[in-house]
Every structure is written in structure tokens, then in C-alpha cells.
Structure 1
Amino acid sequence: TRCERLHHFDDISTVEAALEHLAEKYPAMAASLPRAPGTKETRHMHLLGGDALLQAAIEAQASGTLSAGSSRGRSAELEDEVRRLREELDALKLEFSDFRRQFE
């Protein structure tokens, strides 16, 4: 992992213990984010910029899960656009083929 460049951790439990220690300090230097749907591990973030960063991260995570439902709609829109563009390309190919036949 990228943290290996800064410090060698023996295993994941050592990393979690270090993060818990940073979260329990006063003032807290790290926080655990709520586990997002579909993620395997709990995410952590630094609090060096204050609690406002934590609230922003939680809100961003919540809006990301809410937008997952709208991404299906967006996916359908994109599929329709690809279908339309393919039809347009096929029509242009036919027109170009007719145009070339004029010069043969």
C-alpha cells in the first residue's frame, strides 16, 4: 500500500490500532467514516482540517450512494444515445456510399 512508504505495518490490525489511537487523541487527528454500501473495509480520514472536513466527507459519501440509483437512469440515457449515434453513423455510411458511386 501507499502507507508502506511512510511506515511499515505488520498487518491490518496494527493499522487499525494506529488509526484508533489517532481518533482517541485530543484533539482527534483521524475519524472512521460510516461504511458505504458495497465497500469491504471501513474508510478513515484525517481531521487535520477540522470537523468540517468530516461532515463534508460524510455528506459526499451519502450523496454518492443516493446518486447510485440515478446512475442507472444515466446509463439508460447513454445507451439510447449510443444507439442513436450508431443509427446516424449507418445512415451517413449509406449516403457516403451513394456519393462515391457517382464518381465510379
Structure 2
Amino acid sequence: MRPLSLLEARVLGVLVEKAHTVPDSYPLSLNSLTLGCNQKTARDPVINATESEVQVAVDALRALNLVFESSGSRVARHEHNMGRAMSLPSQSVALLAVLVLRGPQTSSELRANCDRLHRFADVSSVEAFLDELAERPVEKGGPLALKLPRAPGAREARWTHLLCGPVDVSSMPVAAHTEEFVAAGELASLKAQQAALQSEVAALRALVERLYAELGVTRS
């Protein structure tokens, strides 16, 4: 499958999302689909596509068998065929849809944001499906997800989709590779604990000195 454009990927992601979140209105009319693409919330980046532009994207996705047009209605309605067309389980479809709609995210963020599309038992199950997408063999179309380098100050690495083609990570800032990385909040907490312990040790030392003095014991 060729790389998708930003709008094509957005259309596909919206169709996957709305199939779960507004099943009574699904499949979507062109107007509803356009509104979903142009949402200001839960979208990164925010776009402002016209209905004609969305229609062009829908037609391109239909040519790839990723979208179907439903029959039997006076208004044309559209539904995705992502799972079957790309031989992907529903869990992977949900993860890719959320990455397409919301941009790069950590495994924990993906688990939370996928909740209405698929409820993952834990973060490890999310990572298992992400690893499958990242290791998808060439004969099946190649990788569809990529784990980005951990950014400076970040505790977790983020994931991104590859539906729109390869991602250049060479210019991305990368955190130092060390297992001793501690987030700023944790560092402040550790310093506070250290100060409290030092205060306790000083108080205990003063108490011992006083006891020695009261007992008339000379420290050796």
C-alpha cells in the first residue's frame, strides 16, 4: 500500500473512531466525516478541510479498498475496511487510529485514549501490539508503527504511525541513554527525603551526645 496523505489518514482514523463512539450515526455521511476531520479536540494536528477535499480523500481510500460506500441510503455514507484490507486485528486498528488522530503518544497514553475503541487489559498488552506493528514483515506491507527516541526530560518513549510513510528521527532530540534517568519531580522528592534524613541523623547525634554527657561517659 502506498503512503497515505495526512487527510487520507485523518479520514481513515475518523471512520474507525466514529464506528465505536457514535455507532447509531455510522456509517458517516460526507458532512459528518468532514466535521470529524476538523474537530478541534482530540486531534493533532488540527486541520480545516473542505467537504470537496474530504471527498477526494475518500475516493482515494476507496481505490485502496480501505473505505466502502454504503448503499441503500439517499445520502452516501462511508465506512472503513481497514482491518480486512490490511489484515490487522481490531486492537492494532484501534492503536493506529488513535495515533493518526492524536499524534505520537506513549504506551500509557495510548491505553487511555484507546479505551472507547478497544479496552486493553494493561500497558504491556498495548506494547505487544505496537511491537507487532513495528515488526510487521515486508511481505505483509512492512512496519506500520515506530518507537521514537525518548525525548530529553521524558520518562517514556512515544510511538508514531507509519501510514503516511517513513519518519525521519535523525533531527529529533534524544535523551541520554542511562538507566539512572530520574524525572524532575522524582529528583525533587529524593532531595526532600535526603534533607529529612540528614535532619533526623543530626537530631539523633545530638541526643547521643547529650546521653553521653549525662552518664559521664567518655567516647573513645
TM-score, normalization: structure 1?
A: 0.52
Q: 2 CA distance for matches of 1:22 and 1:37?
A: 25
CA contact (8 A) 1:35 1:43 kept: yes
Q: 1 CA distance for matches of 2:170 and 2:121?
A: 29
Q: 2 CA distance for matches of 1:12 and 1:58?
A: 27
1:74-101 CA distance string (max 9 Å, x none): xxxxxxxxxxxxxxxxxxxxxxxxxxxx
1:75 aligns to what?
none
Structure 2 regions of 5+ residues with no counterpart?
Answer: 1-111, 176-220
Amino acid corresponding to residue 152 of structure 2 in structure 1: P
Q: How many residues align?
A: 60
2:158 aligns to what?
43
Q: Which has the higher helix share?
A: 1
1:73 aligns to what?
none
Amino acid corresponding to residue 144 of structure 2 in structure 1: M
- 1:5, distance to aligned residue in structure 2 (A): 1.4
Amino acid corresponding to residue 13 of structure 1 in structure 2: S
1:3-44 CA distance string (max 9 Å, x none): 111111100100111100000003100000001111111100
1:30 aligns to what?
145
| Greater RCO (CA < 8 Å, at least 6 residues apart) | 2
Structure 1 regions of 5+ residues with no counterpart?
Answer: 66-104
TM-score, normalization: structure 2?
A: 0.25
CA RMSD of aligned residues (A): 2.0
Taking every aligned residue pair, what percent have the same amino acid on both sides?
46
- 1:58, distance to aligned residue in structure 2 (A): 5.3
- 1:2, distance to aligned residue in structure 2 (A): 1.2
